[in-house]
Chain A
Amino acid sequence: MKYDNTYAKLSVFGRQLLNKKSLTEGLPHISKYVKDVIGAQRCSIFINDNVKDELWTTIADGVDKIIIPRDKGIVGQTLKEKKPILVEDVSKNPHFLSNIDKETGYKTKNILTAPIFNSQRMIIGILEVLNKEDGFDNEDVKFMIFFAHYISGFLELANIYSQQDEG
């Protein structure tokens, strides 16, 4: 199994993550790790904002905050179906938001997502990886499900922090 070694070393990543005190610090750390482990070109973590009714993400590669309506895109579809989505060819998927590619100048080929649940079983975020050279496979999906669950405690705890900061 190609992820055996990853699982064995995952706690090292986990401890680094728990040193990050906020989402702003933690999210890039998660993105970079997932990208490297899965072998995808990009990774975004979309945060589900119930109040503003939107999904937002910041991309480490310098593009500003991306905001999309909660019912749009593969990410919105993930939120709706409450399960991972693998899109092998985005050009054939009606939900794919091609205008984001146009805005960023990036060419998306394939996508894999997984919802991140909190302890109340609400979706607090969506993990998304883009462009794996040979395409995503079932092992990648399994890892994404496991990993989304693994980091959910950090995200929920970080949410408690940020609510305190704002309140």
Chain B
Amino acid sequence: MRGDTEMGKSTQIAEFGKKLMAMGKVDNALELISKEAKELLRAQRCSIFIVDEQDEILWTKLSDGIGRIVISLDSGIAGETYKQKAPQIVNDPYKNKHFLKSIDQKSGFVTKNIITTPIYSSRRDIIGVIQLLNKSRGEFDEKDLEDLAFFANYISGTLELILMQQ
């Protein structure tokens, strides 16, 4: 939450929250969350990976036009977030051994930097991972992480409720 637009931003988040709570379906909710997260963090792309512990996968419906992505629970930066139960900042993904180049190759998108954070349920299980790509200016930093942690917690209750009802 930055600078003199703070109040406006808080109101905006509350308005977003109301819209999110009106979403009945996971897909629509994920789309709305992605859009808001991108604006908040000023990033080019956003994916929300949902944890499926039974099938040991992370899946996401929306990566802005490249369809459904399914990765195994321990792969990619998102998988690393799940495994370590901790946020990740990767400002040089092509030098990171966990980064999945194949997704870039498939989509034609070039990932420059990545920030992720786990989304927890009320029982403190990780139900998802929110991931943003390519900050519009500079690299992701600690302040971004703080904003993203707030945002992930803000949406987590609603996301938990929606997933419960699927």
Contacts and interface: CB of A to CB of B under 8 A. Distances in A.
Contacts of B7: 161, 164
Interface string B102-114: 0000000000000
Nearest to B149: A119
A157 interface: yes
Contacts of A7: 161, 164-165
A18 to B, nearest CB: 5
A10 B164 CA distance: 12
Contact of B22 (A8, A15, A146, A154): A15
A151 interface: yes
Nearest to A144: B122
A156 B151 CA distance: 10
Contact of B160 (A18, A149, A157): A149
B165 A15 contact: no
B136 interface: no
Given A119-B150, A150-B161, A164-B7, A19 B156 contact: no
Given A10-B161, A164-B6, A153 B122 contact: no
Nearest to B16: A18
A120 B122 contact: no
A153 B17 contact: yes
* Interface size bracket, B side: 20 to 34
Given A11-B21, A15-B22, A164-B6, A149 B121 contact: yes
Given A18-B14, A149-B122, A11 B158 contact: yes
Interface in A139-162: 145-146, 148-154, 156-157, 160-161
B155 A145 contact: no
A118 interface: yes
Contact of B157 (A8, A19, A118, A149): A149
Interface in B7-62: 7, 10, 13-15, 17-18, 21-22
A157 B10 contact: yes
B152 interface: yes
Contacts of A153: 17, 153-157
Interface of A is mostly: helix
Nearest to B1: A160
Interface string A113-151: 000011110000000000000000000000001101111
Nearest to A11: B21
A38 to B, nearest CB: 16
B124 to A, nearest CB: 9
B163 to A, nearest CB: 11
Given A119-B149, A148-B122, A157-B13, A15 B21 contact: yes
Interface of B: 1, 6-7, 10, 13-15, 17-18, 21-22, 121-123, 149-150, 152-158, 160-161, 164-165
